[in-house]
């Protein structure tokens, strides 16, 4: 198979996956329902646990860094929730196609469907956790402005990049199982090197270290 035919086949797979939106949307919602089927409040447990983490760590780190809580807590809440959404998609993708081996062997489906299924599942969790951001900005921060609407196209662009990155990660982790551990360790390292717990101002004249980090942007 030539490179041209391989690329054409790959693009066709992506097209078929995107047009099969009913399948991966249903699968994602089914995954959420299945995970919390015996729980009274379902996925809201994730929101509660994330909210507790944001409040506890926000108070702790603002005290350690000696920063104003009104400035630090909204910064940390947004960064922590969004990083959880981004890293969860990459970690899900690192599971490769092994987690869907039974379905893949029985039913012929476009492979991107499984990646999109994982992405949508994390987007549902993000929608729940976005309540934390809204509450922090309204109660502690400076609220919302028209400029806040820029977040919507930004999130769409981030999701597009995460989906493409997830496809690459899934392929490599399926072919090379050791890559799963590389992704796990890599996400932890990036978390500490990204201004989430700490603010860029603490770097003083070394802010270029943050500017070089694409996740920071």
pTM of the complete model: 0.85
What is the band of 12 on the pLDDT scale with cuts at 50, 70, 90? confident
What is the band of 160 on the pLDDT scale with cuts at 50, 70, 90? very high
User: From residue 43, how far is each of 79, 103, 129 by CA, in Å?
Assistant: 20, 25, 10
Residue 192's Cβ-side half-sphere holds a number of Cα atoms within 13 Å equal to 4
Please tell me the predicted confidence (pLDDT) of residue 3. Answer: 67
What is the band of 1 on the pLDDT scale with cuts at 50, 70, 90? low
């Amino acid at each position: 198979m030539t490179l041209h035919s391989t690329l054409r086949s790959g693009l066709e797979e992506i097209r078929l996956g995107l047009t099969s939106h009913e399948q991966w949307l249903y699968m994602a919602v089914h995954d959420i329902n299945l995970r919390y089927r015996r729980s009274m409040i379902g996925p809201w447990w994730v929101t509660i646990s994330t909210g507790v983490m944001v409040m506890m760590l926000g108070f702790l780190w603002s005290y350690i860094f000696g920063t104003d809580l009104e400035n630090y807590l909204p910064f940390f809440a947004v960064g922590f929730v969004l990083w959880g959404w981004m890293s969860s998609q990459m970690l899900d993708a690192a599971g490769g196609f092994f987690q869907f081996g039974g379905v893949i062997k029985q039913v012929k489906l476009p492979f991107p469907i499984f990646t999109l299924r994982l992405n949508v599942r994390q987007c549902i969790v993000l929608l729940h956790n976005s309540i934390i951001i809204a509450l922090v900005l309204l109660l502690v921060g400076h609220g919302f402005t028209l400029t806040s609407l820029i977040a919507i196209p930004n999130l769409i662009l981030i999701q597009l990049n995460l989906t493409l990155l997830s496809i690459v990660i899934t392929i490599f982790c399926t072919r090379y199982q050791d890559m799963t551990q590389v992704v796990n360790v890599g996400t932890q390292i990036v978390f500490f090197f990204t201004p989430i717990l700490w603010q860029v101002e603490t770097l003083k004249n070394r802010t270029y270290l943050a500017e070089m980090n694409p996740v920071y942007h």
